[in-house]
Each structure stands twice: as structure tokens, then as C-alpha cells.
Amino acid sequence: MINLPACAAWPKDKTVIAPSILSADQLVLGEQIKQAQQGGADWLHIDIMDGHFVPNLSFGPATVKAIDGFTALAQDVHLMVEKPADFIAPFIKAGASSLTLHIESKGDIKQLLKGIKAQGLSCGISIKPDTKPCDIAPYIDLIDLILVMSVYPGFGGQAFLPSSLKQISDIRDMIKAGGRAIWLEVDGGINKDTAAKAVEAGADALVAGNAVFGQSDIKEAIAQIRQAAEIK
């Protein structure tokens, strides 16, 4: 398992770029991951879908395990599942670096977050576009990362929802008020145009699926997002 870097220790002027393998060519996944790593990706984003929480299926622990032995990139695992309690142990065993749960999913979220931390992983909370940022408040002392969904979860290649900019800036204010460094990651519709807006609103980590793996030159695609996401 590779640890997710601590937000407090990360260079303040560098936005994290986390390509999402949902949009990668699954027939040559290893080759695509290698290109992303060589192209300067900071983490890999792994979307886990159960067909209930979202109307789609994606990867399981076997994929995370295979990637863990293959790359030096941290695996930022996003659990879009109805019952995260059923999946935490298998993904920890597989080598996930961080596990992010949806606030809208079922179970005792606080206990689940504590359980993830106890195993030495980073943990995060994600909100869907219609969830209020203030709902995160009860978890803020437990988490390393907040993931704002800037599309309705389930599919890659959707358009960035402009309404998420207000969520991002509200959450940035919450983090500042809390006084502890927490990653603020944005996921959905990130490309070279929307990256700058998300960073300006307060994001310090960006997930990009289609804008990286949907492009013919992965290295160039990452470079373009990185340039757009330069923190001023």
C-alpha cells in the first residue's frame, strides 16, 4: 500500500492531478497508467460502483490489488456504493491508499471512517451535487479529504456543474475555519477550462477521467490541466 500524501506537507502552489481510470482503455490499463505516471499524474483515482448507489458498475478489489503492485502512484479510491461497510476491508487488503465514502450512503459513517484510519489509510467524505456542504461538519475532525462531485455520480464524460463552485468555496471556508489541512478534491467534468474555476473556488486536488484518458496524448492532456490549474 502506498500512502496518500498529507495535505499539510504538499507544496502549496501545486494542484494534485488524479486521473480517473474509469475512462482508461481497459484492454491496456497498465500501459495507460504508466503513461499517466510518466506524464506527471500525482495520484490515481479509482471509482468503485455497485449498481445500487449509482446505476453503473466499475472495478473491484482485484483491480486495486493489481495496480498496487504495478505503480508507485497512490490509489485514491472513491466508493460509490450503497453499503460501504461491506467493501472497506477488501479494498484495504487490496492496497488502497485512501477510501472516500459518500455521506449519502448507508451505515454508521463515523465508525467506518474511524475504522479506515485505524488501519493506517487516509479517509474522505464525498457529497453529491444536491447535498449541502454543512452536512460534512460532523465528520470534519475525522477526515483527510473532502470530495465534491461536480457531476451526478455514475459516469465519466459528463459536463461540470457550475453550481458546484459554490459548494467548493463553502467547503474551503469550512476547512479554513477548522484550522486543519484537509484535501479538497473535485470530481466530474474537469478539463483545462473547468480546472481553473475549481482551483479558484478552493480545490487543491482535481480528478480527471475523460480529459486525460479520453485523449490521444495522455502526457499532453495532464500538462494542459496542470497549467490551467496553476495556483495563483
Given the rule CB under 6 A, which residues bind ligand DX5? 20, 22-23, 45, 47, 78, 151, 153-158, 187-190, 207-211
Q: Write down the least CB distance from residue 143 to ligand DX5, Å.
A: 18
Q: Write down the least CB distance from residue 158 to ligand DX5, Å.
A: 5
Q: Which of 42, 144, 187, 204 is catalytic?
A: 187
Task: Determine contact, residues 79/133, Cβ cutoff 8 Å.
Answer: no
Residue 154 contacts which entry, ligand DX5, Zn ion, none (Cβ below 5-8 A, type-dependent): ligand DX5
Which of residues 111 and 227 has its CB atom nearest to ligand DX5 in the complex? 227
Q: Is position 187 annotated as part of the catalytic site?
A: yes
List CB contacts of 130: < 8 A, sequence separation 6 or more: none
Q: Write down the least CB distance from residue 78 to Zn ion, Å.
A: 4
Q: Is position 68 annotated as part of the catalytic site?
A: no
Q: Write down the least CB distance from residue 185 to ligand DX5, Å.
A: 10
Residue 73 contacts which entry, Zn ion, ligand DX5, none (Cβ below 5-8 A, type-dependent): none
Q: In what order do the strands lie in the sheet with 145-149?
A: 16-19, 205-208, 183-187, 145-149, 122-127, 98-102, 74-80, 43-49
Q: Which of 47, 76, 144, 204 is catalytic?
A: 47
Which of residues 57 and 173 has its CB atom nearest to Zn ion in the complex? 57
List CB contacts of 140: < 8 A, sequence separation 6 or more: 174, 175, 178, 180, 182
Positions in the binding site for Zn ion (CB under 5 A): 47, 78, 187
Which of residues 59 and 113 has its CB atom nearest to ligand DX5 in the complex? 59
Which of residues 176 and 227 has its CB atom nearest to ligand DX5 in the complex? 227
Question: For residues 74-107, b (16+ Cβ closer than 10 Å) or e, as one string?
Answer: bbbbbbbbbebbebbeebbebbbbbbbbbbbbee
Of 177, 173, 172, nearest in space to 186 by CA: 172
Q: Which three cell numbers stand for residue 1?
A: 500500500
Angle of helix 194-201 versus helix 164-178 axis, rounded to 10: 30
Residue 151 contacts which entry, Zn ion, ligand DX5, none (Cβ below 5-8 A, type-dependent): ligand DX5
Give the residue numbers annotated as catalytic, written as ranges: 47, 187
